Amino acid sequence: MGQTINGRIGGEFEIDPKYLAGKPQPGGHTPTFGCPNEVWLDTGRSALKLALEHISSAGTSGKAWVPAYVCPSVTHAFKSKGFSVRYYAVEPDLGLRSLPASFATSDKRDVFLFIHYFGRPNKDAVRLLSTLSKKPWIIEDAAQAPFLKSAWVSSDFIFNSLRKAFPQPDGALLGSPHPFAHKLAEPLDPFISKRVLGKTLRHSSEDEEKYLRLFEESERELEKENPPRMISPVSKRLMTQENFSTAAETRKFNYRVLAHALTGMTRVSTLWSDVPDDFVPLGLPVVVARDGRDALRSYLRERRIYCPVHWHLDSEVIEETNSAHELSRRILTLPIDQRYGGSDMARVADEIRKFSP
């Protein structure tokens, strides 16, 4: 759907206005997890809150286990639903070697959330949880894995968030084997309208200050205390115009090209050396040595290559786990998405090499 605009690589997905009234594309489809109960909401945090509402009414201890390496919006969603959050440690490569202590698994079960980081299926979590005879409530967080096609058989809930991987301003699918109530609030107008305006401006204008302001303002709307909301009509329409399988193939191709081009660099290394077949990447996470992350990020931004940091952790997590803190200070996500091709990846690698061979 998209392509490189004005030499920019990365950053918020643009919306080409012609797609706002476009017809569904051949090969386009609506994703599903194959769960018996599924509903579309606006954001990942809305989906999580709705899952927590069900869990609260069905019986829980009120204690939630969340990985120390986590998007702050996840922790906030738990807290807003009255859960007390405990962090479990993850390895420096985001793997999981063991489960934290033991869980309450009686009528009042704990909640355990695991994340498919950067689109990579979290096989460690699945393997370790499989060994439990009595399970806590299990929530599978696929917000970074929008191409994941099915839920793990023992998950109670799974959700994604499509706005990170496609032009649509919102859209998150929640799936579960349990029938759950889903009375949803209307879409959040100030968020959707500002986001769509910013995305169409980014498509056609170089007024960076203006569209960045719109993105920030719209994000602040999401950070307010919101009830679970339904997906917006504009996202429903945009979603039918995506070809998910082409996007997935392009991402995998770009990831491999860029990861290969980074081999042997001294200060920048990929977080993972292998690329499993079932891994459709959100981006290419790299670790930057010797406190160079922020400098590299600024250097690339000046050359119109935009890289997010997933994530700046909340201070309370930082106090609890050192390895998550260390990773959060050194990680950078390089863009490999479907807007780009091999020559763009070569440009990203060249610029990184110029910064630090």
Ligand X SMILES: Cc1ncc(COP(=O)(O)O)c(C=O)c1O
- Nearer to ligand X among residue 115 and residue 151 (C-beta): 115
Tokens linked to 135: 């399970």
Decide if 304 contacts 333 (C-beta within 8 A). no
Question: Which residue is associated with the tokens 């643009």?
Answer: 14
Nearest distance from C-beta of residue 202 to ligand X, angstroms? 18
In 3D space, the residue among 176, 214, 222, 173 whose CA is nearest the CA of residue 14 turns out to be 214
- Nearer to ligand X among residue 51 and residue 71 (C-beta): 71
- Nearer to ligand X among residue 93 and residue 351 (C-beta): 93
Instruction: Name every residue whose Cβ is closer than 8 Å to that of residue 159 and which is 6 or more positions away in sequence.
Output: 41, 44, 47, 48, 51, 139, 140, 141, 142, 143, 172, 173, 174, 175
Q: Is 73 a residue that touches ligand X (CB under 6 A)? A: yes
List, in sequence order, the alpha helices (H) in the chain. 44-58, 72-80, 123-130, 189-204, 208-223, 233-239, 244-262, 293-302, 315-320, 322-330, 342-355
Nearest distance from C-beta of residue 73 to ligand X, angstroms? 5
- Nearer to ligand X among residue 14 and residue 141 (C-beta): 141
CA distances from 126 to 130, 132, 152, 153, 335 (A): 6, 10, 8, 10, 28
Nearest distance from C-beta of residue 282 to ligand X, angstroms? 9
| Strand 284-288, strand 268-270: pairing | antiparallel
Tokens linked to 279: 């891994």
Nearest distance from C-beta of residue 233 to ligand X, angstroms? 18
SS3 for 30?
coil
In sequence order, the β-bridge partners of residue 64 are 85, 111
Nearest distance from C-beta of residue 87 to ligand X, angstroms? 14
- Nearer to ligand X among residue 232 and residue 262 (C-beta): 232
Per CB under 6 A, contacts with ligand X among 132-171 are 141, 143-144, 161, 163
Nearest distance from C-beta of residue 271 to ligand X, angstroms? 15
Q: Is 121 a residue that touches ligand X (CB under 6 A)? A: no
| Window of 68-76, 175-183, 201-209, 318-326 that interacts with ligand X by CB under 6 A | 68-76
- Nearer to ligand X among residue 94 and residue 352 (C-beta): 94
Could you write out the three-class secondary structure of 238-305?
Answer: HHCCCCHHHHHHHHHHHHHHHHHHHCCCCCEEECCCCCCCCCCCCCEEEEECCCCHHHHHHHHHHCCE
Nearest distance from C-beta of residue 357 to ligand X, angstroms? 32
Which residue has its beta carbon closest to ligand X? Answer: 44
| Window of 1-9, 40-48, 295-303, 340-348 that interacts with ligand X by CB under 6 A | 40-48
In 3D space, the residue among 331, 13, 7, 3 whose CA is nearest the CA of residue 146 turns out to be 13
- Nearer to ligand X among residue 44 and residue 175 (C-beta): 44
Q: Is 172 a residue that touches ligand X (CB under 6 A)? A: yes
| Window of 60-68, 69-77, 147-155, 238-246 that interacts with ligand X by CB under 6 A | 69-77
Task: Pick from 66, 115, 231, 331 the residue near ligand X by CB under 6 A.
Answer: 115
Nearest distance from C-beta of residue 196 to ligand X, angstroms? 16
| Window of 39-47, 199-207, 296-304, 332-340 that interacts with ligand X by CB under 6 A | 39-47
CA 11, distance to chain mean position in Å, is: 14
Tokens linked to 148: 């994941």
Calpha distance 224→295 (Å, rounded): 32
| Window of 37-45, 207-215, 251-259, 321-329 that interacts with ligand X by CB under 6 A | 37-45
- Nearer to ligand X among residue 331 and residue 352 (C-beta): 331
Task: Pick from 9, 71, 231, 239 the residue near ligand X by CB under 6 A.
Answer: 71
Tokens linked to 270: 């990929």
Binding site for ligand X (CB under 6 A): 43-45, 71, 73-74, 115, 141, 143-144, 161, 163, 172
